[in-house]
Amino acid sequence: MAKVVHLMNRKTIIIEQVFKRNRTGEVKRDEEFIAVVKIQAWFRAVRVRAYLKFLHHCATKIQKVWRGYLGRSLFRVLIKELMVVMRFRYYNVMAVQIQKIWRGYYTRKYIHNYYSRKKYLEGLVVKNEFVRQQLQEYSEQKAVEAKRELQQKIKERLEAEAQKKHYLLSTEVVPGIYNSPFQPYPDEMELLLRRVKPKPPVGPRPKRDNICGKIITTKLPIPHTTPLPPIGQKQQGPFRAPEEVIKQRYKLLQPTLRVATSFTSVEQAREAMKMKEWVMRVNDNIFLPCTKRHRDYEPLLHTTSAYGHLLYGTKFYRHTDERKNITTERFQPVVSPIPVFEKLNESYSKGTETVP
């Protein structure tokens, strides 16, 4: 009982302490709730970030492997294309080399043949001399004709001048200005005035007949013509006269341009073109191309000598005598040789340079 009484006496203090503790608990509960929420948020954030980091790491590995596979595949394709291009370039270079060698040989052998071209040029020189001589004669003839025409024009001008000044002609009583008594003989103009006739006076020209050209002295009467018949009335409407219809129906056929043209017009035009080219040709000796195979075989330069290969084109350029296979005359160069090229393989060495 004593404890109950003691507790009853302290009831007020206990109630106050309970309320105080409850109030403190309510205040602390909000703070603890906020702290717990923060801890949970941080923990969950750490866990989510760790998971995302793991996912990113896995995605990076997958992308790395896939991109490496794609890069290696693309690289293999590029390598194959590059090899194909390199092979084509190599084949093209080799083909060009073969074509260059073959075309050089073919040109030297058949197209630019030395002896055939020499023969052609000799004929061209003869033809040029003949043409030059003809042109010289033609120019001299033209000069003579021009001189004759000039003299004729001067003569006509002097005669026209003499016709205008015919009144200055001398008479038996009064001498003219061109026939001075102080000179032993008259002037050339005086003689010219005696030869020409005076110029007719200016006036109306006489009328001439259009048929015979004679001068009409009397006026001819104008002939009276009969009146023309009256013009008939034209047929009206879209109809034409029967005579015109029959004429249109039975008129001759007019062939078209295709029918009127000859079937051999192209060949005739080609023949005319060939004849024109033949007239304008300077030399009649045709320079035979490589397609003409009926000429005699001409051996190569390195096979014409019985002593081996001739260094024609590499060491000297001379005309060779086919009977003796020796040089007959020395080649005269147009310009003096270059001293640097004469010392080739003599004073030159690798890494050094000499000044001539």
Q: What DSSP assignment string belongs to 3-19? A: HHHHHHHTHHHHHHHHH
CA distances from 131 to 138, 144, 276, 282, 285 (A): 10, 20, 18, 8, 15
pLDDT at position 154:
93
Give the mean pLDDT of 235-246: 70
Helix (H) or strand (E) holding 76: helix 11-106
- 25 has pLDDT over 90: no
Does pTM surpass 0.75?
no
79-88, 94-103, 215-224, 322-331: least confident range: 322-331
User: What sign does the dihedral 109-114-118-119 (CA atoms) show?
Assistant: negative
Residues 6+ apart with CB under 8 A from 285: 119, 120, 123
Query: Could you tell me what percent of the chain has a pLDDT over 70?
Result: 69
Find out whether 145 and 157 touch, Cβ atoms under 8 Å.
no
Closest CA relative to residue 169, chosen from 186, 152, 146, 185: 186
Rounded to the nearest angstrom, the gap between the alpha carbon of residue 270 and the centroid of all alpha carbons in its chain is 26
177-191, 257-271, 300-314: least confident range: 300-314
Q: Based on the number of CB atoms within 10 Å of its own CB, is 140 exposed (0-12), middle (13-18) or buried (19 or more)?
A: exposed
User: Band of the pLDDT at 188, cuts 50, 70, 90?
Assistant: confident
Residues 6+ apart with CB under 8 A from 302: 309, 310, 312
User: Band of the pLDDT at 326, cuts 50, 70, 90?
Assistant: very low
> Which residue type does 178 have?
Y
CA distances from 126 to 74, 117, 121 (A): 73, 14, 9
- 340 has pLDDT over 70: no
- 283 has pLDDT over 70: no
Distance, in Å, from the CA atom of 199 to the CA atom of 193, rounded to the nearest integer, reads 11
Closest CA relative to residue 193, chosen from 171, 168, 156: 168
> Which residue type does 176 have?
G
Distance, in Å, from the CA atom of 126 to the CA atom of 112, rounded to the nearest integer, reads 21
Q: Identify the residue whose tokens are 């002295």.
A: 217
CA distances from 127 to 133, 138, 280, 283, 298 (A): 10, 16, 13, 6, 26
Higher-pLDDT residue of 285, 164: 164
User: What sign does the dihedral 58-63-69-71 (CA atoms) show?
Assistant: negative
Give the number of other Cβ atoms within 10 Å of residue 190's Cβ. 20
Closest CA relative to residue 282, chosen from 100, 97, 129: 129
Rounded to the nearest angstrom, the gap between the alpha carbon of residue 220 and the centroid of all alpha carbons in its chain is 73
The average confidence (pLDDT) of the chain is 77
Q: Based on the number of CB atoms within 10 Å of its own CB, is 193 exposed (0-12), middle (13-18) or buried (19 or more)?
A: buried
